[in-house]
Amino acid sequence: MSATIITSLITASIPALALIIVQLIVSAKQQRIQDIKFDMTIKEVRADISRLEAKQDKHNALIERMVNVERDTAAQWKWIDSFKEK
């Protein structure tokens, strides 16, 4: 190969290598940004789940109390009915 062709190949490959290196750096930075966004989304979802669990616990406690109230009310009505029969 002549010196001119070798010089041309080297001259052309320097910007190509620089472009590849820059692209790799940009890709790594974009990946870090996506990872941070993903982590934040996961944290938000977990916080939402925790809030929903707290609400569900309150709701379940209310349901349990209402079951007790209904049971006690039914017992009271039976007691009242037994007095009416006498």
Q: Averaging pLDDT over each range in 31-35, 67-71, 75-79, which range is the top one?
A: 31-35
DSSP structure string for 34-82: HHHHHHHHHHHHHHHHHHHHHHHHHHHHHHHHHHHHHHHHHHHHHHHHH
Which tens digits make up the pLDDT trace of 24-61? 999 999 999 999 999 999 999 999 999 999 999 999 99
How far is residue 41's CA from residue 35's CA, in Å, rounded to a whole number? 10
pLDDT for 44 equals 98
How far is residue 84's CA from residue 78's CA, in Å, rounded to a whole number? 10
